[in-house]
Every structure is written in C-alpha cells, then in structure tokens.
Amino acid sequence: MSYCLNPTCQNPQNLGDAEICQSCGSKLLLIPDAQASPASRYRTIKPIGQGGFGRTFLAVDETKPLIFSQCVIKQSLPQKNAAEKAAQLFQQEAAQLEILGKHPQIPELLAHFEQDGRQYLVQEFIDGKNLAQELEQKGAFTENQIRQLLNDLLPVLHFIHKSKVIHRDIKPENIIRRRLSPTPLASLENSFLPSPFQKDIFLVDFGAAKKVTTPGLQPTGTIIGSAAYTAPEQLMGKAVFASDIYSLGVTCIHLLTEITPFDLFDSTEDAWAWRNYLKTAVSDDFGCILDTMLQSATNRHYNSASAVIRQLNPKPYLETSPVLDAPETTSERVVTPAPGVSLFTRQEQAEIQQALQDAIAPYNVIIQVNQAKHKLNIVINRNQDNPIYYPHLSHIITTRLTDLQLNKVAAVKLLGRVHNSRAPEWQQVLQIDPKIQLRNKIIRLHHNNLAKQIAPLATKDFWLPKLRTKDFWIDLLMFALVWFIFGSQIVIFNAMFALIISAGFMVVKYQVSQKKEFANNNLFATLVLLFLMAGSMGNSRILNTGIFGFLLACLVVASPLFFIKENYQ
C-alpha cells in the first residue's frame, strides 16, 4: 500500500509498488537529496495523525532491511495565513531533534528535507500506543503506575531542559508506551541501547518545543500547546521549564481519574479537585508531590525535573555521569579488603551481595561485591550474548542499597564487565548526599514506631479516660511541683532546664511503670516534703550553687525508682 502525500488528492490509496499516484499524478516516493542520492527512499503507508501545522504518516525506508525499515514522516501543511510561522516551527523542530533525538527515549531524527514545495521530517518509528489510547482501553492508572511513569519520563525532561529546550505540549497523546520488540537485542550493533524490557516510555512531538536563548524571565511569545494541560504562564506566552512540570502533573491526574483536566479544576475555588474523582485514594506523600506540580504560581511548584525526582525517590545516593572505557587501576580489582579496614563482616558482605542479586535477578547477570575502606565496589558481570542497559540496573541497585541503609558507606562504585573481563565496559560512582540523607531520616521518623506511639496523644480517646483517674491528677501535680522547685527561687535554674528535669522525672516514672506499680501517694508526699524543706531554706546560698542543684535534680529525676510498691511489701 502506498499513500499519496498530495493533500488535495481525492483517492490517495495506491498499490504498494506504485511510484506515481493513479488519482492525481503526484510522486509517491520521497527522496531526501535527489542530487546526492538518486535512489528512491521513503514510501508512505498510511496517515496516523494530523495537527494544526501538518500531517503524520507511517512510512518505510526502502533502502533498509524490512525489519528496520519503518519510520514516521511529518509533512508540513500549514494554513495560508500561518505559512511563515509553520515553516519557522518546522525548521526549529528539526534543529532541536538533531540533538534531542540522541536520547534513547526520544525518537531519532533520520532526515529532514523539502520536496514539491512541502517540508518533511523523518523520524524513528515507535511501535506502541500513546497513553490516551491506553487510558481508553484499560481505564484509570494506579498510583504505582503513575510513579513508574514519572520515574521513566522525568529523566527525559531533565535531559531536554539541560539542552535549553521547553517541550510545551506534554499530554497523554504525546507519551507513547512502546510494545515489546521481537527483534533479538544481540542483532543490534550498539549493545548499550535500552532494552524494550527496560524503558518503554517515549516522549514525542517536539513541534511546539521552544529553545531558551536567554536566562531568566522569557519574553512574551506565541501561545502554543494543548489548553487543557498548559500552565498559566504558558497561556500568557511566557513558558518556562517549570511549565513542562505543570503539564506533566495535569497529565498524571487525568490518567489517575479518567476525567478531562477542564472538569478536574474547580474554578470557584481556583484549585484542582482531582482527589474527588479518584476511585482509589493515593498516599499522602504522593498526593503532595502532584499538588506541588500543579501549583499555578511558578515560585510554588517544582522548578526542575530533578527536584521532582528527588522528592519522588528519596535516597542517600546521587548518581554521577558514567565514565565509559576508563582505565582501571589495580586496586579496583581487589576482592579481599585490607585487614583492619573492612566495612562489613564476610557474612554481611554476602548478605548485601545476595540482596542485590535478588533485585536484578530478571536480567541474568551476576553481582559481585567487594569493599575497600569506606567504598563498596559492585561488579555487574554479563554474558556476551546478553546486552543490558547499565543505567537501568544502576537505578535498581541504588534503590536497593538505600533500602539496606548502609550508613558506613561513603561511596559506591559500579563496574560493568563481560565475562569478568579485566577492563570494564561501563563505570559509575554513587555518592552520599548529606542533605538527602538527613531528609530521608526525617521521612523514616514519620513512619517509625515512635511516631505511631505519639500519634494517639492528639486524640480525645486517649485523654478522656485518664481525666477520670486519681493517678493522672497526682502525676500532673508531681510534674508541677518538680518544675516549680527547679524553676523558682527555691533552686535557681532557668525555666527550660526545669522543664527538662520535670520531663525526665515523668519519663523515668513512665518507663518503670510499664512493668512495676508505684506507691503514688508516698512519691507525691516525698515531693511535697522536698518542696517544703527546700522552700524553708530558700534563702540559703548553698542551694544556689551549681553542683548542689545538679545533684538535687538527679535525685528528683531518679526518685520514682525508690517508690516501687514491691519495696513496701
């Protein structure tokens, strides 16, 4: 089947080997450069999309083997009053794709040229369905699916923004999930291409993308993009990098709810009401991430893709750029660490190695772990006929190392080898970021048992039964007495120190009471007696000395230990 590219053709369907359209007489084959290569190359098969400035076709490159021949052709077809703008955008898209198409999750630009007064872009074909089609067929996405989508797509946005480009049209239709390829990876020339089993999300359609030429606030430009997903500043013609983050956030809530973005926004409250349409609630931390992505003010939402990644995957390791084919020193091949500098015992090292091996078991590689001083060396061994995408394995290993909480480790070096070859084919270093490590500790604190024990203190069910007991009021009076003794003229300490002593007294009493019972009346009477004695000596200078006050404080804090009922039986 050949499809005629003449937009006015009444019957564009033609036989597969035809060179001239039987309906309008137009050429059916596209030749990128007739002088340099007179052989015909691209044959369009069928249309697969149409936009404001042109059409998109599935095509084949007849000069390539059948299995590699499929491609996508974009034909510039603007309205008469927008021809100049369309030509400018077309050339701009071609220039950007020359660079951006090198990323493994962006379709590669194969050619761009003009023929018969129309401009054409030829790109790599991604065999799959976009997320709008997937949503229609399979229904709403889950939180885990959206998390995976963000983890797959945010690094692509980070790459685009580092290249000083704003996509400006992120929406479900422009995100394609590639089908699993039947082509054996061993047949590919470059073994470092991502396997279809690893990265299946692609970002397409850079027709609206904009190159950022100056830092800071951008001058007002053309309003472009899909209105339902477009950030407020972009609607004013002032798109920034954060505008793509906003559009991605809108895409996520659309996929979570199956509701169009226009219906998810509550104009009366000037806020997104996406939670009202969820079939299954999302976690609080993930909901906060989406809310921040959807903030209308640029100073309140994420200003970079890496900021979202850090919030989405809190971990103490930051990856540096991989160093390919770097020379390896002899020390890097040492498997047994020097005596006296081991981070872990042999048993602990074996457990770490087994945990990492289990994490990447589906990829048929062997993990070896060795240690030297405060660094771990992790070797990934693969077979010659098993090409893998090392950055993907690096992400899995990094996540697993984070779960293991190896606080003694200062850095981790990853080495990729074929059959334990001497020279690594890939290297990467992971280093701990103290700021992220501190944030992770705070996050873990929110989820540990201590936090769960403290949580009931904010409920009425905890306090109401206690208010009806005698012991509660005696404890309250004890706390007040201790605080008064050490925070007044009786013994001169400042109020904060007195509060610490009082709290220490109650903590000791509480801890002992878990297994023992107190003679509360006797303990209370002793404190009253202490209060009266200290009060009668209030003007004595000996009580105002630091050492006496400190000893008295220690005695009062420890006093519950002397009033356990067992001692009086």
With CA atoms as reference, report the closest residue to 183 among 301, 68, 31: 68
- Which spans in 163-316 are helix H? 232-235, 241-257, 261-264, 284-293, 305-312
Q: How far is CA 57 from the centre of its chain?
A: 34
User: Using CA atoms, how far apart are residues 458 and 260, in angstroms rounded to an integer?
Assistant: 39
Annotation says 169 is catalytic = yes
Torsion sign (Cα): 560, 561, 565, 569: negative
Tokens of 297: 């003010």
Indicate the length of the chain as a whole number. 569
Q: What residues contact 490, with CB distance under 8 A and at least 6 apart?
A: 484, 531, 534, 535, 538, 543
DSSP state of 139: -
Catalytic residue among 33, 127, 152, 169: 169
Tokens of 104: 């493994």
* CA distances for 311 relative to 78, 201, 396, angstroms: 42, 21, 17
User: Using CA atoms, how far apart are residues 128 and 176, in angstroms rounded to an integer?
Assistant: 6
CA atoms within 13 A on the CB side of 304: 10
Catalytic residues: 169
